[in-house]
Amino acid sequence: MNTQHVPAGTAFAVATRILSGQPWSAKLIKNDALRRHLKFLSRSFRTRDQAILKLRPDLERLLRPLLEKTTVLCDFHPKELAVIPSLIRMAYYREFWVRDPADWPASTGSTREQWEGFIAHLFERYPVARRWYRVWEIKGTLRYRERDWYCQLAQGAGRRSLEGLPDTINSRALHLSDQAPGELTMRQSFRWAQLKILQASEALIEAVLESPLVDDFSHDTIWFRLFQKVASSPDFDPCNFGIIADALLLLVRTGEWCQAKKLVNDPLQQLLNHCVGRWQSLPDHPNLTLKEIRRPGLRAELTELAFATWEPMQEVAHFQTEVCGQNGWRPDAEIIELTTHAQLLEESRRMHHCVDSYREFCLKRSSSIFTLRYLDESGKARPGVTIEVYRPKRRIVQVRRKRNDDPYEHEWDILRKWAEQNRLVF
């Protein structure tokens, strides 16, 4: 680490000039790490985002003790510890400060201990496990669930009261998570505890912690059922966990979480076979072997391919018909455009035809694919007809029901009204 001394007054004076929008010279800062931090500070406030700009006074209060009492910004390269983004997030959480930054008595420990001590001084009425300090380094929106949890715990809230924590993470798992390896994130530590309680093997725990589903707490009934299933099966190969998890995640991301919930209750071998089949059904990679599908990089590539998107066709409005039900008029059918490859794949699967092969036509904007779907009283959709429109001439060139059957007469009536409304021709 580069610990070349920088006069505290000089560093803070430069930071103050940056925050006030005045010009400054990087040549004044000889320490490479500090100079990089200050450059990031300068870039962060070249913005019109009022949510960021209004943090200037509180960020200045945070920077003064760190620059005058510690060498945190000199010792840590931004790639090792992104101090400025972390401080911006702390400034955003000003309402949770319990002490003034200026009153912080800098500790004599290591630079990392000084940094963690500063965070504890700001937020903690009650001590919190050290792993929580890393929540300020998590990228994303200023308001973030893990940061909310840290602030609540630091104020003395009980763990079970943490908002958004799924019921599948019980009190035992919450307490056991404190014993998780130190390099794990908070969400990984919760997953580690869940799996330890289920007596999962170390190989399976490692496979789960490497999966993107670790961060998804919104569908934990699905993931916890999957954990139970694989942990209780001594013959299950942990190398196959990612095949199942990523396939179910793909369903969840495309809005088919009900299908994922149904599949996860199938026998384990049947579930694995289904997920392998899903990966093999994706285009551009025919005849994939199990060994190939096990590669996380290939699955990530296939997932990215499945989420290829394109701009919707211009001047085509959302179309909907209504029917009179017991509680008055309600939507009966609608026509929407499919604008992702994942949607084409799902339409192809449910309608048993080859619309999934039209991705390249859609990306090149030569074709647009629409679906006429029926809505029940709960709003659940059921596909009825798939429609191809040749974009350059706004011409409807194909209309197919399930297994390429022709539409019913009443569906032709709906399509004619939709075409007339949007200046499309047959």
Give me the tens of pLDDT residue by residue for the chain, a chain 426 residues long.
343 444 555 788 888 888 888 888 888 888 999 999 999 999 988 877 788 889 999 999 999 999 989 999 999 999 999 999 999 999 999 999 999 999 999 877 899 999 999 999 999 999 988 889 999 999 888 999 999 999 999 999 887 788 888 889 988 998 899 899 988 888 999 999 999 999 999 999 999 999 999 988 889 999 999 999 999 999 999 999 999 999 999 888 877 888 999 999 999 999 999 999 888 877 655 577 888 889 888 888 787 777 778 989 988 988 888 776 566 666 788 999 999 887 888 888 889 998 988 988 998 899 999 999 988 877 678 889 999 999 999 999 999 999 999 999 989 999 999 999 999 998
Residues 203 and 114 in one domain: no
> Does 157 reside within a domain?
no
Query: What DSSP element (H or E) covers 335?
Result: strand 328-338
Residues 248 and 337 in one domain: no
User: Scanning the structure block, which residue is given the tokens 């194909």?
Assistant: 398
Q: Report CA-CA distances (Å) from 184 to 67, 179, 247, 390, 400.
A: 29, 11, 24, 51, 50
Instruction: Please choose, from the candidates 110, 63, 109, 57, the residue with its C-alpha nearest in 3D space to the C-alpha of residue 86.
Output: 63
Instruction: Please choose, from the candidates 327, 355, 351, the residue with its C-alpha nearest in 3D space to the C-alpha of residue 341.
Output: 355
What domain range is 367 assigned to?
319-421
Q: Counting Cβ atoms within 10 Å, is residue 138 exposed (0-12), middle (13-18) or buried (19+)?
A: middle
Q: How many domains does the chain have?
A: 3
Q: Both tokens of residue 73?
A: 């910004």
> Does 186 reside within a domain?
no
Residues 341 and 371 in one domain: yes
CA quadruple 292, 297, 301, 303: dihedral positive or negative? positive
> Does 149 reside within a domain?
no
Q: Which residues are registered as beta bridge partners of 370?
A: 337, 387
> Does 143 reside within a domain?
no
Residues 288 and 330 in one domain: no
> Does 206 reside within a domain?
yes
User: Can you point out the beta strands (E) in 190-257?
Assistant: none
Residues 203 and 290 in one domain: yes
> Does 266 reside within a domain?
yes
Residues 243 and 333 in one domain: no
Residues 402 and 296 in one domain: no
Q: Which of 123, 157, 173 corresponds to the end of one domain?
A: 123
> Does 72 reside within a domain?
yes
Residues 227 and 285 in one domain: yes
Residues 225 and 296 in one domain: yes
Residues 324 and 286 in one domain: no
Residues 217 and 324 in one domain: no
